[in-house]
Amino acid sequence: MDSAKQDKVRKFEEFVDRRLKPDLVHAIAQRDKVFEQQKIFSDLRRNIENLEKNSVTSLRTLVNLGSEVYMQADVPDTRHIFVDVGLGFHVEFTWSEALDFVAAREEKLSRQIEEYTRLIASIKAQIKMVCEGIRELLQLPVTEL
């Protein structure tokens, strides 16, 4: 009886440590990646809006060649922009097209973030539940965390 109970507790703990916690860490890492993407696209949107507002048609900028060595680069015509659409493809857009695309992309990313947040919450809930189960098995008093 007692050993069976201990066995069960051990199994539950293993489930939490080997399954739920790695899942949680993974989900959080995934969400962070999506956050990064979101930031990239919101920056891009802001930059394009800036170009539009100031009606900049030619641009001089510094390009990083690696190891923090920069060289000047000249962009004669900024009205055509190539945006990464995923899988290594870049599509040539005008400013308005690019803004539409970025808006759609941002919406999708925020949906993904929502999804991951929900997933993380449910994993956390499962961990909590299993811990509660262990507590009941051991007949420990309820502790407020």
**Stretch of residues binding other proteins (CB under 8 A), selected from 3-11, 12-20, 81-89, 115-123:** 81-89
Q: Is 34 in the site for other proteins (CB under 8 A)?
A: no
129/23 Cα distance (integer angstroms)? 15
The alpha carbon dihedral of 17, 19, 21, 26 has a sign of positive
Q: Is 75 in the site for other proteins (CB under 8 A)?
A: yes
Size of the site for other proteins (CB under 8 A): 31
Q: Is 88 in the site for other proteins (CB under 8 A)?
A: no
Backbone angles phi, psi at 48, to 5 degrees: -65, -40
Which of these, 28, 12, 16, lies nearest to 127 by C-alpha position? Answer: 16
Closest separation between CB of residue 110 and other proteins, Å?
A: 16
Backbone angles phi, psi at 83, to 5 degrees: -115, 140
Backbone angles phi, psi at 70, to 5 degrees: -115, 150
Q: Which of 1, 4, 69, 145 binds other proteins (CB under 8 A)?
A: 69
Closest separation between CB of residue 104 and other proteins, Å?
A: 13
81/127 Cα distance (integer angstroms)? 47
Q: Is 63 in the site for other proteins (CB under 8 A)?
A: yes
**Stretch of residues binding other proteins (CB under 8 A), selected from 3-11, 62-70, 109-117, 137-145:** 62-70
Contacts with other proteins by CB under 8 A lie at 40-41, 43-44, 47, 59, 61-78, 80-84, 90, 98
